[in-house]
Amino acid sequence: MAVVIDNIYQKVLALANKEQRGYITPQEFNLFADRAQNEIYENYFYQLSVAEQKPKNQMQQSDPKEVIEQKLEIFVEDTNISVGNSTTGATPIPVNYNRIIKIIGNATSAGKIVERVSVRELDYIIENPLTAPTLNRSVYVFSGINDIQIYPVGYTQTNSHTLHYYREPSTPNWGYVVVNEKALYNAGTSTDFELHSSEEENLVNKILMLAGITIQKPDLQQAGAGQMQVTQQQQNS
């Protein structure tokens, strides 16, 4: 379940007003909101890495690794990538990708996972007859910001692969209309946060920190109720 951006906006405004920070413009909020979401999103992968290195505790009610993976599920996508240039093997990947999960071969190499290697490792792999890439044992390296190179080269369109990846989160946006010189929420032009609903307090705290405000947790939990009520009255009037 996504986090409604207006809920976060109203809490941020209420707390900023309480701390006498002054008015945070919609433009400022949207900038901070994007940064906050990206920070939380990137931290998921750090948490996932830590969780994978720890042995599973049978006494825990929930597996930390599973919890993080559930939060990341919304960002998982897959697409077929045709292995293009028969000379270079350069293959474009989606511009919205953040991290590759895995690449699985189709057709000739059906079901085979394409292993990622570094450019340094590639030289040794290619030169060794025992490890040289084949259609059934392919490898890839990054050859650009949005390009990978799959070996062995010389694939055709029938040798397309399925790319599973984490995409970038959509940019949050608090849309509004100006009525009587006041910005009022417009759901039609807004984009909610794509993070898990459990991140609501975290988002508020991070946005406030980016705005230069430090808030105690009890205040964070109570924030926004009065401000949201005022806004609803304005919208209904």
pLDDT above 50: residue 221 = no
Domain segments of the chain as ranges: 5-51+170-236, 83-159
**Structure-model confidence comparison of residues 145 and 19, the more confident one:** 145
pLDDT above 50: residue 125 = yes
Sign of the Cα pseudo-torsion (76, 197, 209, 230, in order): positive
Cα–Cα distance, 151 to 81 (Å, whole number): 14
**Per-residue pLDDT at 225:** 46
CA-based Rg of the chain, rounded to a whole angstrom? 24
168-190 pLDDT, tens digit per residue, is 999 999 999 999 989 999 999 99
**Structure-model confidence comparison of residues 88 and 1, the more confident one:** 1
Instruction: Tell whether pTM > 0.95.
Output: no
**Token pair for 208:** 């406030």
56-90 pLDDT, tens digit per residue, is 665 566 788 899 999 999 999 999 887 655 455 57
**Per-residue pLDDT at 5:** 97
